[in-house]
Each structure stands twice: as structure tokens, then as C-alpha cells.
Amino acid sequence: MGNRNLSIIGGGRLGSALVKGLIDQGFMEPRDIFVVEKDEYRIAELRKEIPGINVVPTYSGTEAVIFAVKPFQAEQACKSVADIHGNTPLKVLSVMAAIHISALETWLPKGAKVLRAMPNTPALLGEGVAGLVASESCGEEDVTWAKEVLLALGGVVLLEDESLLDVVTGLSGSGPAYVFLLAQYMIESGIELGLDEGAAIELVTRTVLGAGRMLVETGQSALALREMVTSPGGTTARGVEFLDLGGLKKLVKDAIEAASQRSVEMWEEMRPS
């Protein structure tokens, strides 16, 4: 990576996943990473979980900063960096939900190169995906740096329009919950139809995992794979027919739109006046 000196503001689950991913994939050495975390118990946990990194209670200045705190903590966190950093060149990546680049640029040092991303929870296992958007001040090198960081969490999709991050939030940000909900309903149905709980969980869990791997590894579309496993007049065709008749497609679209709209509303509720 271009920057060999990095601070991550926030040592929660996502912050620690970033640290582990960057180290495990050889992007950075532990000694070059500073995690800023105020909670003393969490500081002790991080030092035990990830030996060799610097875990500190306050920011003291690095070449690049990743913000991984809660949205309500964003302004204070950004201003704490601005107070220390001054006008020295700075790269910033935010993985905070809802906080727009315009606000970050207001709170951060003048001239900071700001990028914003929306990862999802499988990032905690290095199997996530994130949408990424860059401010107008960012160059190709800045975007490359942010993409390398996010690859530590899984995959990354570069977007041209920041408003599309609201769609990403509703689609892939909330997407794991949709998959978990479907899995829950499948498990419950299997139990109601006579399977014991352990068998239902194993069958559904492995089905979801296998279907996901097929989407990733075969290179075929979801439609093509569905058609491949759906024989005319067979059991799968009957089940899919019932899902279609029940309006599943519209329900999915409506859910994604509702979650995306909530992302817009969250920004409106917390945007600087």
C-alpha cells in the first residue's frame, strides 16, 4: 500500500476486522497500524487479539485515517483528527453509515482526500463487500489505496455517485439480514414438517453456503443457476411457482427500497445544519 502509516478510529468489530485483514493479507505490518479506542476494556482485548499493533486512547497523527465509529460519534472523531493534523496531506476513508462526504470535508482538515464506503457484516469474516465513492479531490492513487484497504474485508465496487451508497446500504448492507431471515424461515418450515432442529439447521446452512459459492465461483448469473436447478414439472419448479405467486419479487424490491430510503432519512436527521 502507498501509505505505511495508518490510524483506525474505532476499535469495534469492523475496525478490528480491518486491522486483521490488512495484516493477514500482507498489506501492512502491525507496527504501522494505530487503533484509536477509548474504552479501556476494549483496548486490552485488542492488544491481546492482534499482537504488535498500537492501541491508543487518542489520535496523534498518521498519513491516513479510517473512521469506523458510530455515526453519532462522527463529528467529534473528525474534529479530533483535524485538531492534531493541521494542513498536512491526509487520506481519509469513512466506513460510517449515513455520514456524507460533504459533512466529513467540513469537519476534517482542509484539503483532506476523502473517500466513503459501505461494507456489510460478512466483512467480519473477510467475506464482505463494500460500495466505494471518492470525493472530487481524490486522485487515482487515493482510490487505489481505499480499494486495497476494503479488499481486506472481501470485495469492493467503485461507484461514481455518492447517492448510490443509499442503494448499496439497502441492497448489500442490509442484504445479510434478508438472507438470514430466509434461512430462519426455511429452518422453521423444515422443523414444522418433521425434521429435528439440528438436521434442519445443517441442511439450510449448507444450502445457503453452497448456493453462494456457486454464484461466486461458476461465473453464471442467478437466473441461469436457478433455471439449471429447476426442472419443468419438478419439485423445485412447484416451490418457485408458489414464491412467485406469493409476490416474493415485489416484497424483495420493496424491502430494498425501504432500507435505502431509511439511509436517506438517517442522513437528513443527522446532517449538519
> 86 pLDDT exceeds 90?
no
In this structure, what are the phi and psi dihedrals at residue 253, rounded to the nearest 5 degrees? -60, -45
Q: What is the pLDDT of residue 4?
A: 58
For residue 237, give Cα distances in angstroms to 118, 211, 221, 225, 244. Answer: 36, 17, 18, 13, 10
Taking only the tens place, the pLDDT of each residue in 211-257 is 999 999 999 999 999 999 999 999 999 999 999 999 999 999 999 99
CA gap 74, 103 in Å, rounded: 9
> 2 pLDDT exceeds 90?
no
Q: What is the 3-state secondary structure (H, E, C) of the chain?
A: CCCCCEEEECCCHHHHHHHHHHHHCCCCCHHHEEEECCCHHHHHHHHHHCCCCEEECCCCCCCEEEECCCHHHHHHHHHHHHHHHCCCCCEEEECCCCCCHHHHHHHCCCCCEEEEEECCHHHHHCCEEEEEEECCCCCHHHHHHHHHHHHCCEEEEECCCCCHHHHHHHHHHCHHHHHHHHHHHHHHHHHHCCCCHHHHHHHHHHHHHHHHHHHHHHCCCHHHHHHHCCCCCCHHHHHHHHHHHCCHHHHHHHHHHHHHHHHHHHHHHHCCC
Please tell me which residue, 265 or 3, carries the higher pLDDT value.
265
Q: What is the pLDDT of residue 85?
A: 84
Taking only the tens place, the pLDDT of each residue in 115-173 is 999 999 999 999 999 999 999 999 999 999 999 999 999 999 999 999 999 999 999 99
Taking only the tens place, the pLDDT of each residue in 76-85 is 999 999 999 8
> 75 pLDDT exceeds 70?
yes
> 199 pLDDT exceeds 80?
yes
Beta strands 6-9 and 64-67 are parallel
| Confidence band, pLDDT 50/70/90 cuts, at residue 87 | confident
Taking only the tens place, the pLDDT of each residue in 25-63 is 899 999 999 999 999 999 999 999 999 999 999 999 999
> 192 pLDDT exceeds 80?
yes
Exposure string over 44-65, b if 16+ CB within 10 A, otherwise e? eebbeebeebbbeeebeebebb
> 179 pLDDT exceeds 50?
yes
For the chain, domains (ranges, CATH) are 6-161 (3.40.50.720), 173-264 (1.10.3730.10)
Q: Which three cell numbers stand for residue 100?
A: 456524507
What is the value of pTM for the model shown?
0.92
| Confidence band, pLDDT 50/70/90 cuts, at residue 89 | confident
| Confidence band, pLDDT 50/70/90 cuts, at residue 270 | confident
**Contact criterion met (CB below 8 Å) for 55 and 5:** no
Beta-carbon contacts of residue 211 (< 8 Å; ≥ 6 apart) = 225
> 259 pLDDT exceeds 80?
yes
> 3 pLDDT exceeds 70?
no
Sheet holding 154-158, edge to edge: 54-56, 33-36, 6-9, 64-67, 91-94, 113-118, 128-134, 154-158
